[in-house]
Amino acid sequence: MFSSFRLSMTWLHTWFGLVLGFVLMICFFFGALSVFDREIDRWAIPETRFDPQPMPSFDSMLLPILQQVEPDEKDYADNMPAFHDAGQGPMTPRLALPVEEYWAYTTHRDPVLIMGAGFGVPHPKDPDAHNHIHGDVTIDPRTGEPVSSDALKIGSRWFYPMHYSLNWQWKNLGYWLVGLASLGMLVALVSGVIIHRKLFREFFTFRPQKQPQRSTLDLHNMTGVVALPFHFFFAFTGLVIFASWLYFPVSGTLLQPLHLQHEAEEAAATGLPHEPAGVAAPLASVDAMVTEAKRRWAARDMAGEVGLLRVTHVGDVNGYVSIYRAGSDRVALIGEGIHFNASTGDVLHEDPPRSVVSEIDEFLTGLHLQHFEHWLLRWLYVIGGLLGSVCIATGFIFFVGKRKRQLAEAGSQGARAVDAVAVATVTGIVIAAVAMLAANRLLPAELVGKGEWEKAAFWGAWILSFVHAAWRSAPVAKARFNPAWREQCWALAGLAVTAVLLNWITTGDHLIKTVFTETYWPVAGVDLSLLATAGLAIVAAGRLARRERAGAAHDAAASEDADTTLYPDAKASHG
């Protein structure tokens, strides 16, 4: 089929990149945003703009709030029919479900505290499964007041899951599509290395003054080579993280008996009961357990605050409390858990030192999920994600630019279709993200269902960008440039500046205040990033306008040459 192995790899690289690049662009861009998801949350929810807080008293503050948490209505409607065994009788009403677990979670970047409860399902279809209906609440840990349930955490609950699930939860199709794209990316990376044998030279080669096709290819190669280890690592570890849960869930299918046996043996070895005993027992002071956990961490020369607290088998004599250290001072995703008997407060088990395999797994997982405090490393993640976005975007542009004249002469609309989708993917997703932030500041805080309106603004802006790109893409079918690129850059610049101004108008938090007088970097960082986006969009729009004018002049000259060739006397007669 191909005359050489390199040509076959070129074909593989081109078509895998084209078909799956649209999904990978979303993964890279929103993955870059998710590095600072909590900071975006602070920008989007002004009442949470305060400094991070330690875990407050469980006994006096958290427990009374958790006891008021109700099962989520949507979770009940979606999952209760699947969990409940109808042969045992009617479904238990939502508010009658028994509580079985409590949890509270915070990080070094979370001023607010996220808490929740798990409710058991009487008469489950599969007694060995995790049959829980969940309910959660977010509170201000200084006062215990809940944060409005209509306030969407745009960073952690929208941008962050977008990069691994496309926010497409039906049948987990978003996860599967991202997994397929990640696998395709590994293929594209390996084939790209084979194609570009002179990687070191291409690391330093960028000729912006050359012909557009040449400079676009240079930028594609350079961004691909510079961040090659980053791209490979994140594609691979992303697949590994979801492999056992979704892609190859053998512990819940083929190996389920072995998995259940392992859980039972682990419970016996650690002293942490796997099942409730069915005998009621009170809950001892969790605050005293927290104090003891901190004392033990300090004795091991690793003093720290609580990151995650979980109560399992609530109100049962087999109940236990697990307290995990906030591990933000290290890369590995570990918690140094200490587990207590819930009714007596006695220590049942301390997590032992990890094996070499476990150390590697936790380090790679922590490196991907980046819960650490290292700010320079976090910014390197952002740069790596944006380099991946640039690499994919320039791949699209090069693909269309290389083929549009040939396809135009053949009367094909293929280049026009690819270009329209590329515009909606490259500039469209940025416009959608910024439009969502602008809508967040424009919509009143007391609006019922505000989060749903923000989601509608996101999808609406994205769809509108695609419609605009398709409508304006007619010149591509004639081997000319699509003006939608330039026009959407201008739209993006306007939206970004508008979002910054709306934040100032609606909250009073302008950059002079958030940078100099009352320094608050989460909000200042988002504002500065929006202004930087506007600046880059303006520069890009200017360069695109010059490229359009140059292309129009070239086409006019070519047309005049063609007329002169066909009608030699035409130029003289018009002279």
Closest CA to 111 of 153, 41, 53, 40: 53
Cα distance between the two ends of the chain: 55
Q: What is the Cα–Cα distance from 503 to 44, expressed in whole angstroms? A: 9
Enumerate the β-bridge partners of residue 341.
Answer: 320
Q: Confidence class of residue 200 from pLDDT cuts 50, 70 and 90?
A: low
pLDDT computed for residue 559 by the predictor:
52
Q: Give the neighbor-by-neighbor strand order of the sheet with 132-139.
A: 132-139, 113-120, 99-105, 306-312, 320-325, 338-341, 347-350
What mean pLDDT comes out for the span 134-149? Answer: 93
Instruction: Decide the pairing of beta strands 338-341 and 113-120.
Output: unpaired
Q: Which uninterrupted H or E stretch holds 348? A: strand 347-350
Q: What is the Cα–Cα distance from 138 to 147, expressed in whole angstroms? A: 6
Q: Confidence class of residue 228 from pLDDT cuts 50, 70 and 90?
A: confident
- pLDDT tens-digit readout, 30-82: 999 999 999 999 999 999 999 999 899 999 999 999 999 999 999 999 999 99
Exposed/middle/buried for 118, CB within 10 Å: 0-12, 13-18, 19+?
buried
HEC letters along 516-561: HHCCCHHHHHHHHHHHHHHHHHHHHHHHHHHHHHHHHHHHHHHHHH
- Residue 187 · residue 51 · CB < 8 Å: no
Between 114-128, 253-267, 465-479, 500-514, the lowest mean confidence (pLDDT) is in 253-267
pLDDT computed for residue 202 by the predictor:
62
Q: Confidence class of residue 557 from pLDDT cuts 50, 70 and 90?
A: low
Give me 210's structure tokens.
Answer: 């050359």
Q: What SS3 class is residue 114?
A: strand
Q: Confidence class of residue 141 from pLDDT cuts 50, 70 and 90?
A: very high
Is residue 395 over pLDDT 70?
yes
Enumerate the β-bridge partners of residue 321.
Answer: 311, 340
Q: Where are the domains of the chain?
A: 5-44+173-195+374-564, 54-150+271-365
What mean pLDDT comes out for the span 120-130? Answer: 87
Exposed/middle/buried for 176, CB within 10 Å: 0-12, 13-18, 19+?
middle
Closest CA to 456 of 469, 471, 474, 443: 443
pLDDT computed for residue 566 by the predictor:
43
Is residue 460 over pLDDT 80?
yes
Q: Give the type of residue at 135.
A: G
Q: Confidence class of residue 6 from pLDDT cuts 50, 70 and 90?
A: confident
What mean pLDDT comes out for the span 478-503? Answer: 95
Give me 465's structure tokens.
Answer: 């960008």
The answer for residues whose C-beta is within 8 angstroms of residue 501's C-beta and 6 or more apart is none
Between 14-18, 551-555, 567-571, the lowest mean confidence (pLDDT) is in 567-571
Specify the long-range contacts of residues 538-543, CB closer than 8 Å, at least 24 apart. 538/489, 538/490, 538/493, 540/489, 541/486, 541/489, 541/490, 541/493
Is residue 298 over pLDDT 90?
yes
Closest CA to 46 of 538, 509, 493, 407: 509
Angle between helical axes of 375-409 and 414-442 (0-180°, round to 10): 140
What mean pLDDT comes out for the span 406-432? Answer: 91
Give me 341's structure tokens.
Answer: 């008997």
Is residue 426 over pLDDT 80?
yes
Exposed/middle/buried for 568, CB within 10 Å: 0-12, 13-18, 19+?
exposed
- What is the DSSP secondary-structure string of 479-514? T---THHHHHHHHHHHHHHHHHHHHHHHH---HHII
Q: What is the Cα–Cα distance from 182 to 231, expressed in whole angstroms? A: 10
21 versus 250: which is more confidently predicted?
A: 21
- pLDDT tens-digit readout, 299-332: 988 888 999 999 999 999 999 999 999 988 888 7
Is residue 260 over pLDDT 80?
no
What mean pLDDT comes out for the span 363-385? Answer: 89
Closest CA to 484 of 527, 424, 537: 424
What mean pLDDT comes out for the span 285-293? Answer: 97
Give me 420's structure tokens.
Answer: 């329209």
User: Exposed e or buried b for every residue in 231-256, given b needs 16+ CB within 10 A?
Assistant: beebbbbbbebbeeeebeeeeeeeee
Q: What is the Cα–Cα distance from 441 to 563, expressed in whole angstroms? A: 56
Is residue 571 over pLDDT 50?
no
Alpha helices in 196-308 (DSSP H): 199-203, 212-226, 228-242, 256-270, 286-299
How many C-beta atoms surround the C-beta of residue 389 within 10 A?
A: 24
Instruction: Record the pTM.
Output: 0.91
Q: What is the Cα–Cα distance from 471 to 475, expressed in whole angstroms? A: 10
Give me 10's structure tokens.
Answer: 């070129």
Q: What SS3 class is residue 291?
A: helix
Is residue 574 over pLDDT 60?
no
Is residue 562 over pLDDT 50?
no
What mean pLDDT comes out for the span 241-266? Answer: 78
pLDDT computed for residue 148 by the predictor:
86
Is residue 336 over pLDDT 80?
yes
- pLDDT tens-digit readout, 14-32: 888 888 999 999 999 999 9
Average predicted confidence (pLDDT) for the chain: 89
